[in-house]
């Protein structure tokens, strides 16, 4: 006859139920950047330079140190033993940080006052990338901007994009495949709405295709 030790079984299940959420939280924390790193990436946004007139130098160097720890050191892939190359060069970031600060301080207040349709950060870094001189002098910070743009800070962004894709590609638009990623990005980032969408320019360009 099978006998169950109920007090021991209950204690085992109780410990298991406590352990499971801790393992899940640890796994999620390993997949997404921590709070300090998310704050460190704020240096590429204009608000950081406008809202901190007094301690901007000290905070910037603190953020830069956190960024270098996260992205300028090679890491070992778990279970495979493969050494992954660092995404950024920490020494080059230190060399280029003076020119980066000058660029952000010189443009932040003026751009924040303008009424742009597109994202301000996208507009500025597109301009910088199109200049060969700026592209060379800020090449590591351009990489940092790209990392910040593609970095997933949580699973909510992915779920939001999937919901947008389901909304965009419904039964009436089920042939939308070629430009689905572009339409999803435009809708998710709210580049345009019904009032400010450039209908005439789009129609002219569409007729010239």
Per-residue pLDDT reduced to its tens digit, 54-102: 788 888 999 999 999 888 888 766 666 677 788 899 999 999 999 998 8
In terms of pLDDT, which residue wins out, 57 or 31?
Answer: 57
pLDDT tens-digit profile of 102-121? 888 887 777 666 665 566 77
Spatial distance between the Cα atoms of 81 and 84, rounded to a whole number of angstroms: 9
65 against 167, higher pLDDT: 65
Quote the tokens at residue 25: 């939280």
Q: Measured between alpha carbons, how far is 164 from 150 in angstroms, rounded to an integer?
A: 18
- Expressed in percent and rounded to 5, the helix, strand and coil fractions of the chain are 70, 0, 30
Which residue's structure tokens are 């660029």? 103
Contact (CB, 8 A) for 41 and 148: yes
- Spans of all domains in the chain: 11-150, 168-207
Residue 114: per-residue pLDDT: 62
Supply the mean pLDDT for the chain: 77
Highest mean predicted confidence (pLDDT) among 14-23, 115-124, 170-179: 14-23
Q: Which residue has the higher pLDDT, 4 or 174?
A: 174
């Amino acid at each position: 006859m099978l006998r169950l030790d109920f007090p021991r079984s209950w204690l085992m299940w109780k410990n298991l139920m406590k352990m499971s959420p801790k393992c899940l939280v640890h796994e999620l924390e390993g997949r997404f950047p921590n709070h300090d790193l998310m704050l460190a990436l704020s240096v590429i946004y204009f608000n950081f330079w406008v809202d901190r007139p007094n301690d901007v130098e000290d905070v910037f160097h603190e953020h830069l140190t956190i960024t270098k720890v996260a992205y300028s050191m090679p890491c070992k892939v778990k279970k495979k033993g493969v050494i992954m190359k660092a995404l950024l060069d920490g020494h080059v970031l230190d060399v280029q940080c003076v020119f980066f600060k000058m660029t952000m301080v010189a443009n932040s207040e003026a751009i924040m006052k303008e009424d742009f349709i597109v994202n301000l950060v996208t507009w500025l870094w597109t301009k910088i990338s199109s200049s060969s001189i700026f592209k060379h002098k800020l090449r590591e910070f351009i990489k940092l901007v790209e990392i910040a743009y593609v970095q997933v800070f949580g699973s909510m962004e992915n779920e939001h994009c999937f919901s947008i894709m389901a909304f965009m590609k419904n039964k009436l638009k089920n042939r939308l495949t070629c430009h689905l990623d572009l339409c999803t990005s435009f809708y998710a980032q709210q580049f345009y709405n019904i009032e400010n969408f450039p209908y005439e320019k789009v129609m002219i360009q569409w007729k010239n295709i």
